[in-house]
């Protein structure tokens, strides 16, 4: 492809990414949609937030067996590593962490045929975009009384996420409530500090914003962006698999977000559908930075993430770098189109480890040649041979489907 066409595509890609920010539809549309979602629920009082997370029932569907070491909120244990990230606050906040991914709380129907996904794509998005709202107002110090608390959006091992509205500005957000005692008991304070420090400094349309945080004696509160459609995982489970047009659009957005992270020297290390959210416009948001690391010029050795998405270098106990995210993106692309992770083996974790180490990749016949090519280029045993993020955005499969999906669903 010549330089002129490459530049045209890159310009169009950036324009599509930023179109949500340029829309002129009023912020009130998002506010109304968010509050209507909670209108049929009994709203908890601030006192309800005192209850530990264990008291909440979750409508979130569990991931099928085959997942192992997971991030905070999913994992039982993990290997820690030293980070030279600066402290989040001064004294008392030696105690912090993560609790939940946002979720709508709806039970989703099981698998739909992937063949129906293409027609469903057109029905689901009527072309109405909602402009991104401004940030919440920034006081000298945040405190809980500044927010109206709405319905629970989800829960995790260490806390819950609530729909919230800042009283002064009317800004709709999500409030993640973490319990210090539970964080300390699980010895993950360092991971939380790292997560907050990293995520609070990220600014990209495809990365979930962390606007601020505050704490009291028992709890930590994270003010995060509200993603109105919840986890991408629940949408994938409902459909069974995505159409290639939808999958290509999501992969293109992921590549854009990951490219930004890597330029900031941040490795996510736990890319999977459960850690990806959708806002009310269908814009993808990378979330859950519990296993992320800021590593400018170093290689890492910690085994972390979720088994189905681990690359060979992690499975074999070798050092790794930012290219682990490229492998995970390849696994994600496969799961979008097929409906299951490529190396999942129902006979157990040991068999899955072996398949990953051998790159035992079996792609079904219904997957197009272009998609197979992209998946194969990402799922390379040698990390240095994996397709670079800037090349993903120029891949024929992305060019063929991503733009057409955006145009079709916005027309």
Q: Which positions are catalytic? A: 270
Is 36 within any annotated ligand binding site? no
Residue 68 to residues 56, 76, 234, 282, 383, Cα–Cα distance (Å) = 23, 9, 19, 29, 22
Instruction: Confirm or deny that 405 is annotated as ligand binding.
Output: no
The annotation status of 187 as a binding-site residue, yes or no, is no
For 279, phi and psi rounded to 5 degrees? -85, -175
Q: Directed axis angle between helix 396-410 and helix 244-263, to 10°?
A: 110
The count of other CB atoms within 10 Å of the CB of residue 45 is 9
Residue closest to 227 by CA, chosen among 276, 272, 274, 278: 278
148 is in an annotated binding site: no
157 labeled part of a ligand binding site: yes
Q: Distance of CA 322 to CAs 220, 223, 392, Å?
A: 30, 28, 15
* 231 annotated as belonging to a binding site for a ligand: no
**92 annotated to bind ligand:** no
Residues near 380 by Cβ (< 8 Å), separated by ≥ 6?
A: 327, 359, 386
- The interaxial angle of helices 369-378 and 396-410, nearest 10 deg, is 120
Q: How far apart are CA 49 and CA 160, in angstroms?
A: 9
Residue 210 to residue 165: CA distance in whole angstroms: 15
Task: Give the Cα separation of 54 and 156 in Å (integer).
Answer: 9
Chain centroid to CA 37: 21
Backbone angles phi, psi at 127, to 5 degrees: 90, 0
* 16, two tokens: 């599509």
Q: Do residues 294 and 198 make contact, with C-beta atoms less than 8 angstroms apart? A: yes
Nearest Cα neighbor of 318 from 328, 303, 332, 304 is 303
Rounded to whole angstroms, how far apart are CA atoms 378 and 384?
10
- Whether 318 has a binding-site annotation, put simply, is no
Cβ-contact 336, 250 below 8 angstroms? yes
Binding residues, as ranges, are 157, 176, 225-227, 274-275, 288
Sequence ranges of the binding site for ATP: 157, 176, 225-227, 274-275, 288
């Amino acid at each position: 492809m010549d330089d002129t066409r490459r530049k045209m595509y890159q310009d169009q890609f950036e324009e599509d990414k930023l179109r949500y920010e340029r829309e002129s539809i009023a912020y009130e549309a998002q506010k109304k949609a968010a509050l209507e979602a909670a209108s049929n629920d009994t709203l908890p009082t601030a006192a309800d937030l005192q209850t530990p997370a264990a008291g909440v029932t979750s409508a979130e569907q569990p991931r099928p067996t085959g997942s192992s070491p997971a991030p905070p909120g999913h994992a039982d244990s993990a290997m820690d590593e030293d980070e030279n990230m600066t402290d989040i606050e001064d004294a008392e906040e030696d105690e912090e962490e993560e609790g939940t991914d946002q979720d709508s709380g709806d039970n989703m129907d099981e698998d739909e045929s992937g063949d129906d996904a293409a027609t469903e794509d057109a029905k689901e998005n009527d072309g109405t975009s909602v402009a991104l709202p401004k940030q919440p107002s920034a006081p000298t110090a945040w405190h809980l009384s500044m927010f109206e608390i709405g319905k629970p959006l989800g829960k995790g091992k260490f806390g819950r996420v609530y729909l919230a509205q800042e009283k002064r500005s009317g800004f709709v957000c999500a409030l993640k409530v973490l319990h210090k005692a539970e964080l300390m008991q699980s010895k993950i304070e360092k991971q939380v500090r790292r997560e907050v420090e990293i995520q609070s400094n990220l600014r990209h349309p495809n990365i979930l914003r962390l606007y601020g945080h505050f704490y009291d004696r028992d709890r930590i509160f994270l003010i995060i962006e509200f993603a109105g459609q919840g986890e991408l995982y629940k949408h994938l489970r409902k459909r069974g698999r995505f159409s290639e047009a939808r999958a290509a659009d999501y992969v293109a957005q992921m590549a854009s977000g990951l490219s930004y992270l890597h330029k900031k020297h941040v490795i996510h290390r736990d890319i999977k559908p459960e850690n990806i959210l959708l806002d009310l416009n269908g814009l993808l948001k990378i979330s859950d930075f519990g296993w992320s690391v800021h590593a400018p010029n170093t290689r890492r050795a910690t085994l972390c993430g979720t088994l189905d998405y681990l690359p060979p270098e992690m499975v074999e106990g070798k050092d790794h770098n930012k290219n682990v995210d490229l492998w995970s993106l390849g696994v994600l692309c496969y799961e979008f189109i097929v409906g299951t992770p490529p190396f999942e083996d129902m006979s157990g974790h040991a068999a899955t480890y072996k398949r990953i180490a051998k790159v035992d990749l079996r792609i079904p016949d219904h997957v197009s040649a272009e998609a197979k090519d992209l998946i194969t280029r990402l799922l390379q045993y040698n990390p240095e041979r994996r397709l670079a993020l800037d090349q993903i955005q120029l891949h024929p499969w992305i060019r063929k489907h991503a733009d057409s999906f955006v145009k079709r669903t916005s027309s």
